[in-house]
Structure 1
């Protein structure tokens, strides 16, 4: 199988890449303002962070990106969608490390380190339009989804409920990474996945969405 983009599996609990982790508290590389949900006005819950790693994750000129979502038990904020204000992907440049703003009252997710392992996937099969695919292409898509890493950086998004590639500034956003809910215990619906994208025309804009299985 051949991938047309650099691809690395995110290995739970693997040899840690500095700043690559799920859960716990964010480890800022510079000033980080804790995001507030635009729908309910409460601080979001921290999910995970990814660093800029040359040759693996290109976040330049930022040193890391921090991902949050609203998990207010008293509301039904639309956290699965990228533009409703109930999730946030915050890029941070290197500077004085500090976290500003109010934090949520709940318990943080358990901490997991993330390792990067070389991987492959059938990019052509994963990129097929299911609305126009032949039966053979759909079977190839099923095989490719089973064989591709569930959590990864690079490659193409492995959608659970149909292609939801983001449009930003009238262009398809660049896929950065995806993270499976399990084994981390993240709340992405029924054992779903979260997807991180970056605007190609305004690269300071990152977007996050999730799909349930």
Structure 2
């Protein structure tokens, strides 16, 4: 029997979860410092934001996280990489709403609200090591990827090109959420996915990391 893991699907156009959205302008719950690319020095483009939702999405002690990546023209920044500095996750504690720094100069992505819907996935199949898997396990992995929500919080990362879990503080980071490029039109390679992770150590200076994979 499949090991089914409780999780929440991120539903495009959903409601009931204030501050959960893709595109548009970020909505700070405290002081949000607009980030710049470590490679080219230009402001990053805002992708999406997720709030702390007790019982469903634990981001404490932060009230929300904001994800950005480099999409400046005429650059070769490695925006898909979790450690190259061409994307970043800004974690914000609750306070007076404020925004600091220069914004991305181009147009924002179209704005979508996000809701949270209950879902299930085959944790055992999604967790298989593709380098050591049998043909039967690989077939189960393909089925699990098709059946699991493409955009979600919790559960197991649904990798498109093999496990790329980043490390922080000498340990693998904990999976938080993933977001599919479509229907939002986000630039994650060819119809890819973006993945959000959190460091397991309290007090880490960079508690969240983001990366993406193309299909």
Would the TM-score normalized by the shorter structure come out above 0.5? Answer: yes
- Alignment correspondent of 2:4: 3
Q: Note the 1:85-96 alignment, pairs <5 A.
A: 85-96=85-96
* Cα pair 1:70 1:87 within 8 Å, conserved: yes
Normalised to the residue count of structure 2, the TM-score between the two structures is: 0.96
Shift of 1:16: 4.1
- In the alignment, the residues of structure 1 paired with residue 82 and residue 203 of structure 2 have an alpha-carbon distance, to the nearest angstrom, of 16
Normalised to the residue count of structure 1, the TM-score between the two structures is: 0.97
- Structure 2 gap segments, 5+ residues each: none
* Cα pair 1:194 1:208 within 8 Å, conserved: yes
* Cα pair 1:3 1:155 within 8 Å, conserved: no
- In the alignment, the residues of structure 2 paired with residue 194 and residue 16 of structure 1 have an alpha-carbon distance, to the nearest angstrom, of 23
Structure 1 residue 195 and structure 2 residue 195: aligned?
yes
Shift of 1:73: 0.9
- Alignment correspondent of 1:158: 158
1:40-90 deviation per Cα after TM superposition (whole angstroms, max 9, x unaligned): 000000000000001110000000000000001110100000111100001
1:155-194 deviation per Cα after TM superposition (whole angstroms, max 9, x unaligned): 0100000000111111110100000000000000000000
- In the alignment, the residues of structure 2 paired with residue 174 and residue 35 of structure 1 have an alpha-carbon distance, to the nearest angstrom, of 23
Q: Note the 1:114-125 alignment, pairs <5 A.
A: 114-125=114-125
- Structure 1 gap segments, 5+ residues each: none
Structure 1 residue 180 and structure 2 residue 187: aligned?
no
- Alignment correspondent of 1:79: 79
Aligned length: 212
- Alignment correspondent of 2:211: 209
- In the alignment, the residues of structure 2 paired with residue 154 and residue 116 of structure 1 have an alpha-carbon distance, to the nearest angstrom, of 11
Shift of 1:15: 1.9
Shift of 1:3: 3.2
